[in-house]
Amino acid sequence: MTEKLSEETRGPLLEPLFRSGWSMVDGRDAIRKTFVFKNFVEAFGWMTQVALWAEKWDHHPEWDNVYKTVNVVLTTHDVDGLSALDAKLARKMDGLAG
């Protein structure tokens, strides 16, 4: 069972993400980031790669895509806030974006 991040674990898991461009969502226990690619094909290809990991981990992002831009919000609905799965998927997204 996934658990909501405790105050003790938030810093070590979230601080590296904040340094890589992630930020908190106003009014929610969630993080967000905008990824910009060279074109639509690269954006959609990245989304496809992320989708495979999201399905494997049974943890799916809130996202939208317009041309070469993908806006992502991560939160864990089962715990009504951030969990280690959000940090894990955010790191994977950053890695896949290269």
Q: For residues 66 and 13, is the Cβ–Cβ distance under 8 A? A: no
Structure token digits, residue 79: 């715990």
Mean pLDDT of the chain: 97
Structure token digits, residue 96: 């896949």
Which whole number is the average pLDDT over 9-16?
96
List domains and CATH numbers for the chain. 7-97 (3.30.1360.20)
Q: Of the candidates 15, 16, 28, 97, which has an alpha carbon nearest to the alpha carbon of residue 62?
A: 28
Which whole number is the average pLDDT over 57-85?
97
What pLDDT score does 98 carry? 87
User: Using alpha carbons only, how large is the chain's radius of gyration in Å?
Assistant: 13
With bands split at pLDDT 50, 70 and 90, how would you rate the model's confidence at 39?
very high
